[in-house]
Amino acid sequence: MSVDDLIALVRAYNPRTNDKLIRAAWTFAEAMHDGQTRQSGEPYFTHPVAVAAILAELQMDDATVITALLHDTIEDTKASYGEVSSRFGPEIAELVDGVTKLTNLQLSSAQTRQAENFRKLFMATSRDLRVTLVKLADRLHNMRTIKSMRPEKQAQKARETMDIYAPLAGRMGMQWMREELEDHAFRVLNPEARSSIIRRFITLQRETGDVIQKITADMRSELEKAGIEAEVTGRAKKPYSIWRKMQEKEQGFSRLSDIYGFRIITRSEADCYRVLGAIHQRWRAVPGRFKDYISQPKSNGYRSIHTTVSGRDGKRVEVQIRTREMHEVAETGVAAHWSYRDGERVVNRFAVDPVRWIAQVTERFDEDHDHEEFLEAVKLEMYQDQVFCFTPQGDVIKLPRGATPIDFAYAIHTRIGAACVGAKVDGLRVPLWTRLKNGQSVEIITAEGQTPQATWIDIAVTGRAKTAIRRSLREEDRERFIKLGAELARVAFENVGKKATDKALRTAARALAIEDVAELLARLGSAEITGRDVVRAIYPDLAQRGGEEIEATRAIVGLSGDQGFRRAPCCQPVPGERIVGITFRGQGVVLHAIDCPVLADYEDQTDRWLDLRWQEGTHPAINTVTLDLTISNDAGVLGRICTLIGEQSANISDLNFVDRKPDYYRLLIDVDLRDAEHLHRVMTALEADSNVSSIGRHRDPARAAVSATGARH
């Protein structure tokens, strides 16, 4: 693309464009990037040009298009903020600087850093949404050209895209961009699954012919009979969308029904409902698959009627019905704020500024709140569809699909949520774990003196409710967690020959971005972080000590080069024990101990069994084993148990009380071990203690079923 091509693209929707400024930005950026190349060997300047073209196709304003051309100049060239400001004005300089800051966040897969960067990303977005639009276009072009990157870099970028950028694009209403980002990431993260779905489509089309063209013709015919003018288009759903449905429904490709989608664009809102009537009169509607987002729009402004019908040859097809104005918002989302019509900026009455949504998220999380909770809340907000319920006064409360009365109570006010003791839905008393549905009226019953219960965390769905519940429970149990955390910290530091002094703990707290030592110990005691995390924050080399250890990825002999593996949670095999592998298509190999009772479930599937063994040598202490202990309820016993485990160079990664009696405690302790010999030493040391009445390995076959839900053969 030449500069004249770009200007022509912008002028097509904005005849008043400042072509001189665009040309000046092109010349400046081209000069700044002179001599730089991309991984593919192309001149680097082709990248900002491609980003600018994407934003021009979204009909963005001049400032955004120019920012795209300049978005890497401050970061990657000798250009300065002051120079960009003097040449192109403070508005563009601020936008370029904002994109640079987002780029420098370097979002990683490490949860804590990712959570903090996610917070910063949203804070930056709330100042000027165009910064994020440029960043999304930047990521889209990088994903389109990702093949030139190193494999490990491709995987990192693909995971970031799937976790953050794709759902962010969807939340901003740009569904087409979300789907394309997901598809590019899917191609990197699971190429075999994507290729398999595409091959199935080709086979299906060969067997049935062009189903899309046939159904589109049928729909056009029905609308003509009804005298309705409308545009009808159809398409097969994206490979990732189909794969996700297969995983969610645990169905094979052949059993999926609605893999085709059709869109009908009408001239008026009234015509939308006339089209719906014509479609339902001709084809049978599928119960429970009708959604009216025109009368109840999504929070990003999306409006459309969705219905699923049994079409030609009984195939289920999804139909979306909306007006042209609604379609513009559905296609461009937030970019509809900058839309042009007949060369003039226009206001699309259906466009909703997502800044309001971002503000609602960020205002609930100030700097003192937990970054993990912020990340969880944002992801819940972004990924979930919504249901609309009513208070007894008729006020509408928007909640994620699957929300419960507890979420409803906290959505009204934290005080109402904390005091909740029951709920009525449509006048009938229901359990607090009831999943709410669209249109229901919900009444919260409260009682003075009630406090949040620990079980509520598993019942609640919204980030707001989970955060408030955790905060309340943390405050209630804080003192107990601090004491336990202090003992766990002492053992963890002694394990590497160090002492858990106040100064060491303060240093660790700073390194982990935790405000003080008390909070560090509270999180350690509540198993939110591990003793190894605390030690690693100060002594990374000591935390990884062990000499010439076998790499975790090379721990198993008998796997092919591309096969991944994981230990079965039901039997938790460790090096030194006989093992067998069970293959799961697309999920790698699951390792079971040879005496695991779960293996009986696969006796008639011998083609999935692999004869495996552990690599000989020293393994790292990363193999978690759950120990079941019954100990005396006396002062100092738990601390001594932790000390005994630490003296055997083992790390406690989790601790859970399952029974408390006046004279004894029964608890499950997760211990990270090297091998079977290490396990034997730990259990022998504990068994010898006079306050330990029983000890054994905790094995739970039920955990295998949970683990296998995402790994079907």
Q: Find, among 233, 207, 201, the residue nearest to 220 by Cα.
A: 233
CA distance 667 to 696: 11
Can you tell me which residue has the tokens 């016993």?
637
φ, ψ at 437 (rounded to 5°): -120, 160
* Number of helices followed by number of strands (H, E) in the chain: 30, 22
Q: Find, among 533, 461, 625, the residue nearest to 111 by Cα.
A: 533
Neighbouring CB atoms inside 10 A of 366's CB total 8
426 is a catalytic site residue: no
227: left (phi over 0), alpha (psi -120 to 50) or beta: left
CA distance 620 to 525: 24
CA distance 14 to 33: 28
Given the residues 19, 30, 62, 76, the one annotated as active site: 76
Q: Find, among 469, 442, 446, the residue nearest to 458 by Cα.
A: 469
- The residues facing 319 across adjacent strands are 262, 307
Can you tell me which residue has the tokens 């003075």?
448
CA distance 303 to 78: 46
Can you tell me which residue has the tokens 């148990």?
641
Q: Tell me the residue ranges of DSSP E strands in 90-180.
A: none
SS3 sequence, 72-91? CHHHHCCCCHHHHHHHHCHH
* Radius of gyration (C-alpha) of the chain in whole angstroms: 29
Classify burial at 485, counting beta carbons within 10 Å of its beta carbon; exposed 0-12, middle 13-18, buried 19 or more: buried
CA distance 697 to 574: 12
Given the residues 42, 57, 61, 75, the one annotated as active site: 75
Torsion sign over Cα 142, 143, 145, 149: positive
CA distance 393 to 397: 11
75 is a catalytic site residue: yes
Can you tell me which residue has the tokens 């008393």?
429
Q: Which residue type, as a one-letter code, is found at position 691? A: N
Find all residues with CB under 8 Å of 423, minimum gap 6, and list them: 405, 408, 409, 429, 430, 432, 434, 442, 443, 444, 445
Q: For the chain, what percentages of helix, strand and coil (3-state, to nearest 5) are there?
A: 50, 15, 30
> Are the C-beta atoms of residues 635 and 617 closer than 8 Å to each other?
no
> Are the C-beta atoms of residues 381 and 390 closer than 8 Å to each other?
no
Active site residues: 75-76
